[in-house]
């Protein structure tokens, strides 16, 4: 191995460059040969610290990053394996992690993952047994076990963050979740894709106060008309290309050669800006044909590095409605119409207050009546009558107010009294995925993201300090279809 990614990234003197490769739906063939060729050229060039390989991007089947990564790894180039929560439950994930450890591939980018696309016979079943916070935690725990059993190295696990959000709630949620991922074990961060320099600056300002020792890399993408269109239309979850930028890319590519030249120039300018802003490296994506383009970006970066401040205005967004957390002037620009406010009160604020009070009364272990509830729960359990309470009282109430899915390990209190099983298609309990757009869900674009609603509910009730505060453990599947009320009072659920 010529270069070791973790060593390079953790040395603050370095500016690290990694390259993202996207495998195709084939085991042999042109795409795979091209990727191997790019990786070999990257190795020969010597400026790339590692390649990162995506895990069924867009939720569609593709050659496993583990096997393609291993082939590249054997050629001598370090590899970052993308590891998502979409396709496997925690048993499969742990087994895959052990396999990667055995293969010596310990650099992991732990992600929730895009929602499911189509495989053999149609759309795949979404698993999302863990979320990205818990995945980081799983790798941390596994590392300790592996080292104790004689494995010489730990996993080097990283996470993603998407600063390119427009709504106040989304911005807060992304940053809060980033903090949780770091507490859970993430050792490095890679941003999602975007071109707003103010957002890049905001992330650094936030992060350097909270976690200055954790290096952050930024994504830089070689924009083609196709990728720019997909990102502009919201078809690449978490990536953001404004209308202005999209139109510019389309006009640049009227002549393909000029288009490529402009794309390289844009990537190089953004790269030097990011270096100037204090990012510890860049993660280059959008390279599908040859390494030559990457070489051209890096050469150009060397030429213009000292002038990075001259290019800042080229990456200023004109979206005046976007929220910037560090800019107090823009914090409260989200105006609502009378109808929207009324709807919000009826569907969010009032139900939240009622549920909050009911929860405090019935489900607080320090409450005066808690010992009584425990006795009642014990009575039902001992007499095998828990089902009676569940069917006659718990299910009707919880289905009516929460569209409860009867998971038996209730997590509504972490989500401002919304059900993570019915409300979020990825069942997130530790914060939103990176896929929301203007506050709406990646999977169901007509629904507000459940975390945006949670934020608004808590803001309205002045309890925001509690938003995304706790690290919520994995759901206990052994409690599925049992009474969550009894499980809570008998200390069987995740709150024990």
Residues contributing to the site for ligand SF4 (CB under 6 A): 424-426, 428, 432-433, 435-436, 441-443, 449-451
Helix axes 90-103, 65-75, angle to 10 degrees: 10
Q: Are 239 and 193 in contact (CB under 8 A)?
A: yes
Nearer to ligand SF4, 128 or 253 (CB): 128
- C-alpha of 362 from chain center: 34
Q: Considering the complex, what minimum distance in angstroms separates the CB of residue 409 from ligand SF4?
A: 18
Q: Considering the complex, what minimum distance in angstroms separates the CB of residue 173 from ligand SF4?
A: 8
Distance in angstroms (rounded) separating the CA atoms of residues 389 and 485: 9
Q: Considering the complex, what minimum distance in angstroms separates the CB of residue 111 from ligand SF4?
A: 12
In sequence order, the β-bridge partners of residue 157 are 108
Q: Considering the complex, what minimum distance in angstroms separates the CB of residue 293 from ligand SF4?
A: 32
Q: Considering the complex, what minimum distance in angstroms separates the CB of residue 415 from ligand SF4?
A: 10
Token pair, residue 76, equals: 């001598």
Nearer to ligand SF4, 107 or 174 (CB): 174
Nearer to ligand SF4, 406 or 436 (CB): 436
Q: Considering the complex, what minimum distance in angstroms separates the CB of residue 411 from ligand SF4?
A: 13
Distance in angstroms (rounded) separating the CA atoms of residues 40 and 311: 32
| Residue whose token pair is 């599947």 | 477
In sequence order, the β-bridge partners of residue 79 are 51
Nearer to ligand SF4, 72 or 419 (CB): 419
| Residue whose token pair is 């930024």 | 218
Q: Give the count of alpha carbons within 13 A of 39, CB side only.
A: 27
Q: Considering the complex, what minimum distance in angstroms separates the CB of residue 494 from ligand SF4?
A: 19
Token pair, residue 301, equals: 């970066």
Least Cα distance to 276 among 6, 15, 23, 490 occurs for 15
Give the number of other CB atoms < 10 A from CB of residue 140: 17
Nearer to ligand SF4, 82 or 106 (CB): 82
Nearer to ligand SF4, 238 or 259 (CB): 238
Which positions ≥6 away from 204 have C-beta within 8 Å?
A: 216, 277, 278, 279
Q: Are 434 and 112 in contact (CB under 8 A)?
A: yes
Nearer to ligand SF4, 22 or 443 (CB): 443
Q: Considering the complex, what minimum distance in angstroms separates the CB of residue 405 from ligand SF4?
A: 14
Distance in angstroms (rounded) separating the CA atoms of residues 8 and 10: 6
Nearer to ligand SF4, 280 or 453 (CB): 453
Q: Are 59 and 82 in contact (CB under 8 A)?
A: no
């Amino acid at each position: 191995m010529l270069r070791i990614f973790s060593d390079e990234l953790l040395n603050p003197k370095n500016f690290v460059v990694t390259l993202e490769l996207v495998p195709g739906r084939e085991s042999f063939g042109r795409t795979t040969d091209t990727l191997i060729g790019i990786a070999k050229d990257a190795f020969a060039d010597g400026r790339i610290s590692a390649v990162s390989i995506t895990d069924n991007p867009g939720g569609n089947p593709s050659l496993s990053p583990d096997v393609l990564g291993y082939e590249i790894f054997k050629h001598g180039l370090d590899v970052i394996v993308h590891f998502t929560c979409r396709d496997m439950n925690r048993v499969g994930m742990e087994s895959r992690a052990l396999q990667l450890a055995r293969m010596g591939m310990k650099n992991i980018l732990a992600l929730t993952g895009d929602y499911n696309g189509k495989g053999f016979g149609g759309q795949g079943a979404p698993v999302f047994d863990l979320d990205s916070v818990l995945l980081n935690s799983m790798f941390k725990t596994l590392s300790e076990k592996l080292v104790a059993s004689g494995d010489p190295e730990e996993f080097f696990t990283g996470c993603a963050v998407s600063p390119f959000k427009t709504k106040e709630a989304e911005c807060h949620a992304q940053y809060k979740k980033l903090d949780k991922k770091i507490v859970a074990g993430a050792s490095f961060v890679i941003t999602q894709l975007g071109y707003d320099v103010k957002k890049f600056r905001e992330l650094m300002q936030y992060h350097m106060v909270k976690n200055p020792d954790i290096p952050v890399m930024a994504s830089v993408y070689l924009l083609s008309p196709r990728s720019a269109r997909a990102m502009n239309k919201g078809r690449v979850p978490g990536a953001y290309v404004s209308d202005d930028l999209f139109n510019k890319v389309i006009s640049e590519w009227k002549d393909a050669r000029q288009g490529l030249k402009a794309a390289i120039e844009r990537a190089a300018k953004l790269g030097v800006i990011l270096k100037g802003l204090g990012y510890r490296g860049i993660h280059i994506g959008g390279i599908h044909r040859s390494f030559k383009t990457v070489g051209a970006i890096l050469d150009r970066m060397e030429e213009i590095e000292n002038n990075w401040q001259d290019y800042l205005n080229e990456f200023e967004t004109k979206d005046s409605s976007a929220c910037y957390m560090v800019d107090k002037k823009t914090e409260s620009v989200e105006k609502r119409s009378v109808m929207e406010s009324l709807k919000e009160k009826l569907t969010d604020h009032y139900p939240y207050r009622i549920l909050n009070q009911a929860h405090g009364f019935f489900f607080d272990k320090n409450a005066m009546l808690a010992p009584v509830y425990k006795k009642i729960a014990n009575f039902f359990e001992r007499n095998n009558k828990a089902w009676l309470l569940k069917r006659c009282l718990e299910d009707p109430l919880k289905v009516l107010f929460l569209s409860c899915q009867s998971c038996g390990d209730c997590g509504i209190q972490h989500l401002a009294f919304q059900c993570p099983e019915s409300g979020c298609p990825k069942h997130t309990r530790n914060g939103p995925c990176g896929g929301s757009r203007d506050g709406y869900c990646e999977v169901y674009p007509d629904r507000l993201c459940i975390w945006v609603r949670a934020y608004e509910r808590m803001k309205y009730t002045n309890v925001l300090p509690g938003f995304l505060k706790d690290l919520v453990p994995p759901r206990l599947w052994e409690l599925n279809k049992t009474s969550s009320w009894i499980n809570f009072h008998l200390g069987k659920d995740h709150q024990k």
